[in-house]
Amino acid sequence: MHVRNIVILTGAGVSAESGIDTFRDAGGLWEQHRVEDVATPEAFARDPDLVHRFYDMRRAAIQTKQPNAAHAALARLDREWPKKAGGEVLIVTQNVDDLHERGGALNVLHMHGEHLTAWCAACDARHRWTGPLSHRPPCPACAAPALRPDVVWFGEVPYRMDEIFAALREADLFVSIGTSGAVYPAAGFVRAARDLGARTLELNLERSQGSAWFDETRLGPATEIVPAWVDEMLG
Ligand code: BV8
């Protein structure tokens, strides 16, 4: 099959070698809370200080990390694929770090939001935010002390789902990189891609919950198998 349009789904595994904990590592390690118990609107309503501390710590941590060879390879594909194949690359990431962008990727869709954005619950404004939120700073737009992490919590609706499904409908190839396939709706994209006629490829350190749905699975660290795959695609 001639491949024109590629949709790439990334998860925490693509940032693991940059030193950012995956959920399998962080889950339960953080102040003895499971991520599913801290990353919810209920947790934020019950104990906003705890949830703010969780995100303040991670927001600060990502700013000390650097993109790795997998981010750089995906950015190269993003830049060079349109010239080579006349098609598009869309990186749909579940990650809330900015390493795809700092690695040079341009076409990145953060379906679960971003650490470096604060969202005002009072006026709905969004602001780039690199510092803490736990001291309840005033919203730059409305001054209300109502800023929250602009991150999609469990039970909240992921961002830009219509754009994602529009891209899956046009995709000839769906590639999943560094995700356990544990969380929906992201974990269901491979099935949608298959049903819509795309070929499916998984690049991961180990088999995931979704491996059976992929035409092909390649195992290894992202910094090795992602650049190798991009070299293959760009010939
Ligand atoms: C929704 C942002 C409705 C926050 C995140 C029961 C059954 C099925 C579903 C549900 C259910 N009960 C509830 C649900 C829905 C729920 C869900 O799926 N729950 C799970 C726990 C069962 N989902 C939701 O609530 C979602 N919303 O459903 O709304 C809806 C649905 C459709 C349309 C409209 C409305 C919202 C979920 C979003 C939650 N927010 N993140 C934050 O970051 O703090 S989720 C978070 O965990 C990630 O974003 C990611 O999505 C998820 C899993 O993380 P991964 O990225 O996969 O990382 P993980 O650690 O799990 O795995 C790492 C992988 O990398 C491993 O496979 C490992 O082998 C590999 N790896 C490690 N090192 C390397 C490597 N690979 C390569 N190289 C390496 N070096």
Distance 76 CA to ligand 1 centre (A): 26
Q: Is 26 in the pocket of ligand 1 (CB under 6 A)?
A: no
Q: Is residue 220 part of a domain?
A: yes
pLDDT for position 28? 56
| Residues whose CB is less than 8 angstroms from the CB of residue 54 and which lie 6 or more positions away in sequence, other chains included | 30, 31, 33, 38, 39
Task: Tell me the pLDDT band of 25, cut-offs 50, 70 and 90.
Answer: confident
Average pLDDT over residues 13-27: 87
Same domain, 87 and 162: yes
Q: Is 112 a catalytic residue?
A: yes
Same domain, 127 and 203: no
Task: Tell me the pLDDT band of 77, cut-offs 50, 70 and 90.
Answer: very high
Whether this prediction's pTM lies above 0.75 is answered by yes
Average pLDDT over residues 203-231: 98
Q: Is 205 in the pocket of ligand 1 (CB under 6 A)?
A: yes
Q: Is residue 1 part of a domain?
A: no
- Tell me which of 151, 173, 198 is where a domain ends: 151
Report the CATH number that the domain containing residue 134 is assigned in CATH: 3.30.1600.10
Same domain, 210 and 173: yes
pLDDT for position 210? 96
8 A C-beta contact, residue 94 and residue 180: no
Range of the domain at 44: 25-64+115-151
* pLDDT one-digit tens code per residue, 116-131: 999 999 999 999 999 9
Q: Is 186 in the pocket of ligand 1 (CB under 6 A)?
A: yes
Q: Nearest C-alpha to atom 3 of ligand 1 is from which residue?
A: 157
* pLDDT one-digit tens code per residue, 146-168: 999 999 999 999 999 999 999 99
Strand partners, 119: 126, 148
Q: Is 217 in the pocket of ligand 1 (CB under 6 A)?
A: no
pLDDT for position 214? 98
* pLDDT one-digit tens code per residue, 164-207: 999 999 999 999 999 999 999 999 999 999 999 999 999 999 99
Same domain, 121 and 227: no
The two tokens of residue 16 are 């693991």
Q: Is 179 in the pocket of ligand 1 (CB under 6 A)?
A: yes
Distance 182 CA to ligand 1 centre (A): 5
The two tokens of residue 106 are 């341009």
pLDDT for position 197? 96
Same domain, 71 and 55: no
Q: How many domains does the chain have?
A: 2
Same domain, 123 and 227: no
Is the pLDDT at 66 greater than 70, yes or no? Answer: yes
% of the chain surpassing 70 pLDDT: 97
Q: Nearest C-alpha to atom 72 of ligand 1 is from which residue?
A: 13
- Tell me which of 94, 127, 151 is where a domain ends: 151
